[in-house]
Amino acid sequence: MPDSVAAVAAVLLAGTFTCAACLKLRDLQTTRQLVADFGLPNPRLLAVIVPVAELGTALLLVVDRRTGGPCAVAMLVAFTTLIAGRLTTGRLDSCGCFGTWSLRPLSWRDLVRNVVLTVFGVLAALG
């Protein structure tokens, strides 16, 4: 695989993680509520930890994509698993993946988006 493909995948994914993190951090109160509504434990803590982890992953993707790629894949697999679980049980409340920018109900499009992003993570890791 050309190195440029891995580099582009890493930069696109880093931008996505940075955008998601910043949008969550911009409105922590809403992020906490979205985490609580999603049924996750300790929303006060997770509302900060998740975007900080996303920013760390974005930094790793830019600095060392062979380390950042697997980190991104792990996070995306976890997020995708949560979304799939919600969809299969009929719970369609927003995931808040992009903070207040993504308040629409969950759909299978969210899974498709995450699969595409996971492919970017794999490409970045292999490059």
**Tell me: the pLDDT tens digits for 55-79?**
999 999 999 999 999 999 999 999 9
What number is the average pLDDT over the span 21-50? 93
Tokens of 52: 């900080």
Tell me the two tokens of residue 63.
């600095």
More reliable by pLDDT, 96 or 69 = 69
Between the alpha carbon of residue 57 and those of residues 63, 74, 112, the distances in Å are: 10, 10, 21
**Residue 69 in contact with residue 122, Cβ under 8 Å?**
yes
What global pTM score does this model have? Answer: 0.92
Nearest to 83 by CA among 103, 106, 105: 106
Residue-range domain boundaries for the chain = 3-122
For the segment 100-121, what is each residue's pLDDT rounded down to a tens digit?
A: 777 788 899 999 999 999 999 9
Question: In the 8-state DSSP scheme, what is residue 102?
Answer: G
Centroid of chain to Cα 85:
16
Give the model confidence (pLDDT) of 73-92 as tens digits: 999 999 999 999 989 998 87
